[in-house]
Amino acid sequence: MTYRKPTFHPANPASYRNRLREDASADYLIRLLWDALDYSAYGYGLYHAADLARRLQIPAISAIEFGVAGGNGLLALERHAAAIEAETGVRIEVWGFDTGTGMPPPQGWRDMPYRFREGNYCMDVDKLRARLTRAQLVLGDVAQTVQDFLTGQTPAPIGFVAFDLDYHSATLQALGLFEGDHAAFLPRCQLYFDNVIGYELSSYNRFVGELAAIEDFNAAHDDMKIAPSMALHRFVIARRWYHQIYLLHRFAHPAYATYVSGAGPQSLALKTDEAE
């Protein structure tokens, strides 16, 4: 069975997606786009980070999850890394950042104490470590661990980052990672933000939480901006996570202008006139 990207509208999208869930032989990217794998958003971001690395002839990249809780997302990120590594030939390191003890206290109204509170989302560190196959856990408050990370470790260039720390304060501290040297990053990094779309009780908006952290980051940096990905607008059926993919643009990165498109001089050439 040949499956198509969501530019195609099947008569019954739900059963089309269910078939893709079952069919392990189907194209990986198409399964991701139809949300037919766990944490498809992570796979999508990582896939396109690896694709950019391959085009720039960068042999290895890092993928990070900020906010791990029990570890379901980090384990899914590991599975995506294995599949995407096999498909693209780009080696992938996986990192997970968390306190290891659940949510710290909120630091004011921007942290949305009506929605998030201290002590939620605990981790069983030993149990998770026993399940991990490639991810490295970085435990502690991101206010400290992010600062130590780029100096203390030598990660492969960072290409994909998932933000799921819930609070404005923690997200802004995690975004401080991007202040590292260009060599530690791809020129454009795929980002996923978990808390930018949600139910009425969450009431996410640009003055609190992750959306406010993105605005604060952009206001503070002239040569780096975080912007929503426009790539997913081309599909007729939108999955929820299509609204959660952003890109970090590092305009001053030495490879930001490197040509990666497939278009050449003969692209868009005048078509042959039937009458000629």
Ligand X SMILES: C[S@@+](CC[C@H](N)C(=O)[O-])C[C@H]1O[C@@H](n2cnc3c(N)ncnc32)[C@H](O)[C@@H]1O
Neighbours of 12 (CB within 10 A): 9
User: CA-to-CA distance for 195 and 232, rounded, in angstroms?
Assistant: 18
Crossing angle for the helix pair 72-88 and 40-55, to the nearest 10 degrees: 30
CB of 137 to ligand X, least distance (A): 11
Does residue number 67 form part of the binding site for ligand X (CB under 6 A)?
yes
If one asks whether residue 166 binds ligand X (CB under 6 A), the answer comes out as yes
> Contacting ligand X (CB under 6 A), which of 84, 92, 165, 255?
165
Rounded Cα distance, 249 and 260, in Å:
15
Going by their DSSP bridges, the two strands 224-228 and 60-66 should be labelled as: unpaired
Binding mask 10-49 for ligand X (x = CB under 6 A): ----------------------------------------
Would you say 198 and 101 are in contact if contact means Cβ atoms under 8 Å apart?
Answer: no
Q: Give the x/- contact pattern for ligand X in 113-132, rule: CB under 6 A.
A: --------x-----------
Among 40, 99, 190, 244, binds ligand X (CB under 6 A): 99
> Smaller CB distance to ligand X: residue 88 or 169?
169
DSSP characters over 168-230: HHHHHHHHGGGGS-GGGEEEEEEEEEGGGS--TTT---TTSHHHHHHHHHHHH-SSEEEEE-S
Q: How far is the CB of 143 from ligand X (least distance, A)?
A: 6
Q: How far is the CB of 201 from ligand X (least distance, A)?
A: 15
- Choose the stretch contacting ligand X; rule: CB under 6 A; options: 2-10, 16-24, 82-90, 96-104: 96-104
The reply to whether 90 sits near ligand X by the rule CB under 6 A is no
- 3-class state of residue 138 by DSSP: strand
Q: What is the contact surface with ligand X in residues (CB under 6 A)?
A: 65, 67-70, 72-73, 97-99, 102-104, 121, 141-142, 164-167, 170
